[in-house]
Structure 1
Amino acid sequence: MTEETVDRPPRPFPDAPGVRHRYVDLPEVRLHVAEFGQGEPVLLLHGFPQHWWAWRRLAPLLADRYRLICPDLRGFGWSEAPAHGYDTATRVRDVLALLDALDLPSVKLIGHEWGAWLGFHACCLAPERFSAFLALNIVHPWPLHHRLAPQAWRFWYTTPLESPLLGRWLLRRRQGFTRYLMRRGVVDQSVWADGALEEFVAASAEPGAARAGEALHRAFALRDTAGLALGRYRRLRLTTPTRLLTGERDFVLPPGVLGGGERNATRLRVAGVPDAGHYLHEERPELVAAEALRLFAEAADGQG
């Protein structure tokens, strides 16, 4: 495993005060990593269709006391986009390999959407590596089927994205589809006034990222959805102190579908955020930072 400083990225990085960039070569993939601040390490895992810049609003609120490690996950941003490896198990291996490469025995964790789904599985597989976990806008692995099933229609947009060739074509050639999803995902459209929407739309339209977006959704549909439906995750146990937040106006996962999990995750707490949607870190960075600080402190005191 090797690390090197990045001098000239293949496309310009968006601006973010205090950011440091590097590439990290892992056994299976090369990841780009952005970092902010100094102190105890916090790993931040982005969702779709974002990359490390998703954390630009949150980073200034935490970087004065933590080292924030923000990788571009396999296939996204400036990371390598191999043809395969977008299933949850492989992506968990990427995360654990990154911690090994950075010589980090344990970190605090924040994840959004697919990054948070990845976080749940990573915490269950390697609980010693994660001291606290703040999950945003995602279902946990143990939902109550009678609550989740009636809301399945909310995932209509994943059907074209997961379809072979169609998904990547949509992301590359019909960028209005991505714009629609991101606009639909926030209550306050001024969130995207800083050019973030166009940055993430353009990034997800890159050939490798478009293929990765399709593969990610297809892997979830074929493997994870079946796992949820068949109860395959009932053997998983979450011991990491965890807080799960979602927007009460999240068009994908409203708070009502997030019940259950008590048997498998005794240290999991779930809450909805009023007047917020699917991108809590974009719409409510101050609230997310406050929840993270509270959770991290409680976990350190053994109260989480």
Structure 2
Amino acid sequence: MTEALRTVPLDEFGPDARHVDTTVLDSQIHHVESGDGDPIVFLHGSPTSSYLWRHVFARLIGRGRLIAPDLIGFGDSGRPDIAYELDDHLRYLETWFDTLDLRNVTLVVQDYGAALGVAWASRHPDRVKAVLLAEPVIRDIESKDLPEPFVQAQLLIRTPGDGEKFVVDDNLFLTQVLPGAFLTAPSDESLAVYLAPFPTADSRGHLITFPRNLPIDGVPATSVDFLERNVEWLATSNDVPKLLLTFEPGFLVTPGILAWAKATVAALEVRDAGAGVHFVQEDQPQAIADGVVDLLRRADGAR
């Protein structure tokens, strides 16, 4: 990928940030990187990119090797001809971690980045240093705990034909749902960066998969099973400090999810991180960066 085709700008990541493209399976994964030392890996979710982490990333310069990848099919990463199911994402992401030989990793994860990051950690427990969770997809969600307009939008998206029209043809997932999940609506300039990788219906075809896979009331079972495979590691990894940040009003950390996490996840600290909805990297970058710093102190102190 040439510099002219970049959709993720570097200027807000810090003065020494750089683009890196890594060949992964039949495609390539792009990431933004800065610094050296133990890796701190920032994983985004749907339908964003590494750009979402820029303000957190810049506040952590000097704390380690900062790495913010674009998931396959997102940002400036490749678009292979795959189904873009959770196991597909994990396969590409796991290969990316292996290709870069990332070890002693602190994971900073949000949305589906949490589902994938924790799945990677559960499969490579000897390579994980610490985990910070912010608005994570981590457990099946009960619809009664979600805003009714969102539940209705999910029903629309899951309806064959109607979902494709909403997400792919009319681009309403990006232009309506995405901006509504910030505490403060993104600027026109920032929104343009989020929209840039998906200018046409053809480029948006795979965007419907993540929202259709959000586990609500046990559906789809494939997503519930994917998350269930991570529970044993979450419950037994006492040597890996974890921090769950909560936000007000928040979105995915419902009362049921919070109670489950407190009762289940080993070595977990829960901390109120202030006002935020779902894309909290824009809402509370300093609180997230402070959480990473404290988490690193916990991890280093445990050695």
Shift of 1:137: 0.5
Give the letter aligned to residue 66 of structure 1. G
Q: 1:300 to 1:139 in 2, by over 3 A?
A: same
CA distance in 1, matches of 2:252, 2:151: 7
TM-score, structure 1 normalization: 0.82
Whether the aligned pair in 2 keeps the contact of 1:249 and 1:278 (CA below 8 Å) is no
After superposition, where does 1:124-163 map in structure 2 within 5 Å? 124-141=122-139, 148-152=142-146, 153=148, 154-163=150-159
1:130/1:119 Cα in 2 relative to 1: closer, same or farther (>3 Å)? same
Asked whether 1:184 is paired with 2:180, we answer: yes
Which amino acid in structure 1 is aligned with residue 153 of structure 2?
Y
Give 1:140-289 correspondences, 5 Å limit.
140-141=138-139, 148-152=142-146, 153=148, 154-164=150-160, 166-189=162-185, 192-193=186-187, 195-207=189-201, 209-220=203-214, 221-227=219-225, 232-233=228-229, 236-238=232-234, 239=237, 240-254=240-254, 257-261=257-261, 264-289=264-289
**When the two structures are aligned, how many residues end up with a matched partner?**
290
Shift of 1:171: 3.5
Q: Which runs of 5+ in 2 are unaligned?
A: none
Is the alpha carbon distance of 1:261 and 1:13 closer, same or farther for their aligned partners in structure 2, counting shifts above 3 Å?
closer
Match of 1:76 in 2: 74
Secondary structure at the counterpart of residue 269 of structure 1 = strand
Structure 1's 94 and 9: CA in aligned 2 closer, same or farther, altered over 3 A?
farther
Shift of 1:235: 5.7
Aligned-partner SS, 1:132: strand
- What is the DSSP-based 3-state SS (H/G/I as helix, E as strand, rest coil) of the residue aligned with 2:5? coil
What is the identity, as a one-letter code, of the residue corresponding to 1:289? A
Q: Distance in 2 between matches of 1:123 and 1:75?
A: 22
1:111 to 104, 109, 112: 109
Identity of aligned residues (%): 24
More moved, 257-266 vs 192-201? 257-266
SS at match of 2:29: strand
> Per-residue CA shift, 1:192-246, capped at 9, x if unaligned?
1262122213334455652221122334453444438xx9448622213211223
Consecutive unaligned residues of structure 1, counting only runs of 5 or more, are: 1-5
Give how far 1:75 is off.
0.9
Contact 1:167–1:213 at 8 Å: present in 2 too? no
- Normalised to the residue count of structure 2, the TM-score between the two structures is 0.82
The answer to whether the 8 A contact 2:273-2:287 is kept is no
Specify the alignment match of 2:62 in structure 1. Answer: 64
Separation in 1, partners of 2:212, 2:37: 38
Task: Supply the distance in 2 between the matched residues of 1:232 and 1:78 (Cα, whole angstroms).
Answer: 30
Residue from 14, 21, 28 that aligns with 2:9: 14
Aligned residue identity for 1:54 = L
Residue identity opposite 1:193 in structure 2: S
Contact 1:51 / 1:200 at 8 angstroms: preserved in 2? yes
Aligned-residue RMSD, C-alpha: 2.9
